[in-house]
Amino acid sequence: MSSFIGKKEYFPGIGPISYEGPQSDNPLAFKFYNPSEKIGKKTMADHLRFAVAYWHSFNANGTDPFGAATIQYPWDGEKNPLAQAEMKADGAFEFITKLGTPFYCFHDVDAAPDAESVAEYEKNLQTVVAGLKARQAATGVKLLWNTANMFSHPRYMNGAATNPDFRVLARAAAQVKVGLDVATELGAQNYVFWGGREGYTMLMNTNMKREQEHLAKFLTLARDYGRSIGFKGTFLIEPKPMEPSKHQYDFDSATVIGFLRYFGLDKDFKLNIEANHATLSGHEFAHDLQVAADAGLLGSIDANRGDDRNGWDTDQFPTDVYQTTQAMLVLLGAGGFATGGLNFDAKRRRNSTDPADLFYAHIGGMDSFALGLRAAQKIIDRGLLKTYRDDRYASFDTGKGKDFEDGKINLKGLYDLAKSEGASIPATSGKQELLENLVNQVLFG
Ligand code: XUL
Ligand code: CO
């Protein structure tokens, strides 16, 4: 992929980022992510399918609840919103092609100016999308997913598909209809629903059952419309327990899987698991991935991390290689991505104000997942964890244990067996520390 430069170069002095290996002192080079290197049967690039997130990388300006913007973009000064969107699209494609990720993701209003009327909103978005399509064709960059922002505008303060006011639900549906047209036009591999305000803040004024039924109907209509216009991608739900809503209906993987199965949506919908959302719900990132994988519903990943000492969605770039190794173990165990990928739903810190910081942040995230991928593949190749894990369940492989798994023994049969076995069952070690040591040996050996 050669780098795309639009009307103007927005990241001057920074060329394409290449792999230079762990000894390199060049901060603008990959130390571990070597896209063409084979890991197992696939290249690193094909395993990891990295995407850049428009909202964090080309819109987020470092504001926090206590302070104003700290990060400026070259397009900030442009007063004409459509001209600004074009500049931003040029900047985005320059960044993405210099970094070398095969994919990107966006919300409607990250890329195009929002508007009150549906007609103007749609016109703005379609204008920008025509330009994005041309840039995709010129560069080979693909759309991993798009989505509709149905949480920032004040009309969505009580939710979108779960809003008690039907007019708001219909307005949200218009955004999703246009979003699916856009997904189809741009060949998106997935379409995402993150229910930022699909939840509630007070039970006494909320009919939870009715709201959840509305959400299911809404998603069903979206699925049917998408399929009717030829959208072949995967629909993804992104779980998150809270923030901005106090209680969000898509709390975690297990909750979403139950919801999808109950409403018969599990053939078209999968999950987009975000690391920091999993940790906010009290789980480890790998836990939520495994729950989704076990249900055959692991679709895609929003790569980031939280902060151990606070309980909100800090969206930091992933740098913790233990966490990426655990994540890649689950992903490889599940057979890897089909339509999904690793989207950096991550933002540089408020005080990382240089344009180069955007590169450092992504380089670090990509290197961390490359390290995780390498380690996970080594662990799998050496059969280390599998042997220990399989051995723990060996008593179910033969004899009465197998009969139990095969449904050939009833409760009385188990009772009789336990009675005849005598009183004491020897302790079997779970070998937790041994396994932790094995992971360190692979990582640093
Ligand atoms: C918010 C979040 C969103 C979704 C897309 O926490 O993760 O950016 O990924 O709406
Ligand atoms: Co996300």
Instruction: Note the pLDDT tens digit of each residue in 115-138.
Output: 999 999 999 999 999 999 999 999
- Which residue's CA is the nearest one to ligand 1's atom 3? 194
Q: Does 283 lie in the same domain as 142?
A: yes
Nearest C-alpha neighbor of 30 from the set 367, 271, 324, 352: 367
CA 338 from centre of chain: 14
Q: What CATH number did the domain enclosing 57 receive?
A: 3.20.20.150
Count of structural domains within the chain: 2
Confidence band (pLDDT; 50, 70, 90) for 384?
confident
Report yes or no on 100 lying in a domain.
Answer: yes
Q: Which ligand is nearest to the CA of 303?
A: 2
Q: What is the pLDDT of residue 423?
A: 77
Helix extents (H) in 49-101:
54, 81-99
pLDDT for 22: 98
- Please indicate, yes or no, if residue 196 is contained in any of the structural domains: yes
- The pLDDT of residue 316 is above 80: yes
**Domain extent at residue 421:** 387-444
Asked if residue 32 belongs to a domain, the reply is: no
pLDDT digits (tens, 9 = 90+) for 157-190: 999 999 999 999 999 999 999 999 999 999 999 9
pLDDT at 308 (0 to 100)? 87
Percentage, residues of the chain above pLDDT 70? 100
CA 378-384-387 angle, 5° bins: 140
- Shared domain for 340 and 419, answered yes or no, is no
Q: From 340, 361, 382, give the residue that closes a domain.
A: 382
Model pLDDT, residue 2: 84
User: Number of H helices and number of E strands within the chain?
Assistant: 16, 12
User: Nearest bound ligand to CA 313?
Assistant: 1
For residues 354 and 429, membership in a common domain is answered with no
Residue 31 placed within a domain = no
Residues contacting residue 374 through CB under 8 Å, at least 6 positions apart? 32, 39
Return the structure tokens found at 104: 């990107």
Structure tokens at 289: 């991935």
Asked whether residue 129 falls in the same domain as residue 160, the answer is yes
| Atom 6 of ligand 1, nearest CA residue | 313
Residue 29 lies in a domain: no
Q: Does the pLDDT of residue 195 top 80, yes or no?
A: yes
In this structure, the answer to whether residues 418 and 357 fall within a common structural domain is: no
Ligand 1 atom showing the smallest separation from residue 243 Cα? 6
Whole-number pLDDT of residue 311: 87
Question: Does 343 share its domain with 409?
Answer: no
Mean pLDDT rounded to a whole number for the chain: 97
Q: Are residues 217 and 292 in the same domain?
A: yes
Q: Are residues 119 and 263 in the same domain?
A: yes
Closest to 54 in 3D by CA, of 155, 182, 145, 175:
145
Q: Looking at the CA of residue 274, tell me the nearest atom of ligand 1.
A: 7
pLDDT in tens, 206-251: 999 999 999 999 999 999 999 999 999 999 999 999 999 999 999 9
| Mean pLDDT, residues 10-26 taken together | 98
pLDDT of amino acid 28: 98
Structure-token pair, residue 192: 């995402």
Domain-ending residue, one of 332, 358, 382: 382
Output the residue whose Cα is nearest ligand 1's atom 7: 345
Answer yes or no: do 377 and 398 share one domain: no
Q: Which of 382, 406, 431 is the last residue of a domain?
A: 382
204 and 183, same domain (yes or no): yes
For range 380-399, the mean pLDDT: 94
110 has catalytic annotation: yes
Mean pLDDT over residues 76-87, rounded?
Answer: 98
pLDDT of residue 25: 98
Between the CA of 301 and the centroid of ligand 2 the distance, in Å, is 8
Q: How far is CA 438 from CA 18, 202, 444, in A?
A: 31, 47, 10
Question: What pTM does this model have?
Answer: 0.98
What's the gap in Å between 199 CA and the centre of ligand 1?
15
Does residue 141 have a pLDDT over 90? yes
For residue 212, tell me if it sits in a domain: yes
pLDDT value, residue 421: 86
What integer pLDDT is reported at residue 422 of this predicted model?
A: 78
Kindly state whether residue 418 falls inside one of the protein's structural domains. Answer: yes
327 with 402, same domain: the answer is no
Q: How large is the average pLDDT for residues 393-406?
A: 98
24 assigned to some structural domain? no
pLDDT confidence of residue 389: 94
Q: How many residues does the chain have?
A: 445
Same domain flag for 197 and 239? yes
Ligand 1 binding pocket, CB closer than 6 Å:
107, 147, 192, 194, 238, 240, 274, 302, 313, 345
